[in-house]
């Protein structure tokens, strides 16, 4: 059993982690072996400071992070092990590899669109997973996602720009997390997707990551490292 300090314990993911921890981890207030953070971007820096002050690893699932947040992750990773992943599920992390491979094999005349739907409470858009899948597609094409992403279409947009990667965001009800990557060619489409049936898969992935990261050297890690997908 490992001892986990949990940031965001009162939230939806915090409760899912407490529910999944039985027999794997004790959720504690003092002397944790590792921290898990599913809270909000505004809390990231103080949560990293707590991990660095304790000299313990931290697993971060919070999404909506900016370049400044990533700089803070890099800084903390000089002192302690830091794993940040927009999606802790096995399925999504495998899907990202399939998307990268598919994008690499198809020419730029195949349009790439990413669709995601989440529950009505979600604070950030596009989802961290949508962006992760967009980065995988962009990497497959050898381009930078920021240079080719279309995140908002409204009004007279004109025709689609070749090589761009589009995002469509839906919010409603209690959807735990649906993602689809559409490769649209002339006369045919490839649709690759993942549906989370509950938050349990994210919670189990976060706990697995916390078990894995204890004892690792300082540095930045991903779920690929945990799942052996690198
Ligand atoms: N990587 C992954 O696999 C997954 C990532 N996520 C991400 O995890 C994050 C949390 O999601 P979810 O549990 O649904 O969100 P909730 O809003 O249900 O919970 C957020 C928690 O963080 C706390 N919190 C919010 N803002 C602050 C702050 N500024 N300082 C300290 N604590 C704060 C809240 O406390 P209070 O209620 O008191 O404000 C609450 O306990 C989101 O970014 C989400 O996208 C979600 C699912 C899977
Ligand atoms: O906020 C959520 O609920 C989720 N957030 C993550 C994201 O932004 O991709 C992961 C999952 O899709 C659920």
Q: SS3 letters for 62-125?
A: CCCCCHHHHHHHHHHCCCCEEEECCCCCHHHHHHHHHHHHHHHHCCCCCEEEEEEEECCCCCCC
The model's pTM is 0.98
Give the residue, by CA position, lying nearest to ligand 2 atom 4. 177
**pLDDT tens, N- to C-terminus, the chain (230 residues):** 999 999 999 999 999 999 999 999 999 999 999 999 999 999 999 999 999 999 999 999 999 999 999 999 999 999 999 999 999 999 999 999 999 999 999 988 999 999 999 999 999 999 999 999 999 999 999 999 999 999 989 999 999 999 999 999 999 999 999 999 999 999 999 999 999 999 999 999 999 999 999 999 999 999 999 999 98
CA of residue 226 to ligand 1 center, whole Å: 22
CATH topology of domain 90-195: Dihydrodipicolinate Reductase; domain 2 (3.30.360)
Which of 122, 179, 194, 208 does the annotation list as catalytic?
Answer: 122
Q: Where in the chain is the domain with CATH 3.30.360.10?
A: 90-195
Q: Where in the chain is the domain with CATH 3.40.50.720?
A: 2-88+199-227
Q: Which CATH class is domain 2-88+199-227?
A: alpha beta
């Amino acid at each position: 059993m490992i001892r986990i300090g949990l940031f965001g314990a009162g939230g939806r993911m915090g409760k899912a982690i407490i529910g999944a921890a039985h027999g794997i981890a004790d959720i504690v207030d003092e002397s944790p072996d590792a921290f898990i953070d599913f809270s909000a971007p505004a809390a990231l820096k103080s949560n990293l400071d707590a991990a660095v002050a304790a000299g313990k690893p931290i697993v971060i699932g919070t999404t909506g992070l900016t370049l400044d947040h990533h700089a803070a992750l890099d800084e903390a990773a000089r002192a302690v092990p830091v794993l940040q992943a927009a999606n802790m599920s096995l399925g999504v992390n495998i899907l990202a590899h399939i998307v990268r491979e598919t994008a690499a094999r198809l020419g730029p005349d195949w349009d790439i669109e990413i669709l995601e739907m989440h529950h009505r409470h979600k604070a950030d858009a596009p989802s961290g997973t949508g962006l992760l899948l967009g980065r995988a597609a962009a990497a497959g094409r050898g381009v930078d996602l920021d240079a080719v992403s279309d995140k908002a279409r409204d009004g007279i947009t004109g025709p689609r720009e070749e090589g761009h990667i589009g995002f469509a965001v839906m919010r409603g009800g209690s959807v735990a997390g649906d993602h689809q990557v559409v490769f649209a060619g002339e006369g045919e489409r490839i649709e690759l997707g993942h549906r989370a049936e509950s938050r349990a898969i994210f919670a189990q992935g976060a706990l697995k990551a916390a078990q894995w990261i204890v004892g690792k050297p300082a540095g930045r890690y991903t779920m690929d490292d945990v799942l052996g997908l690198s």
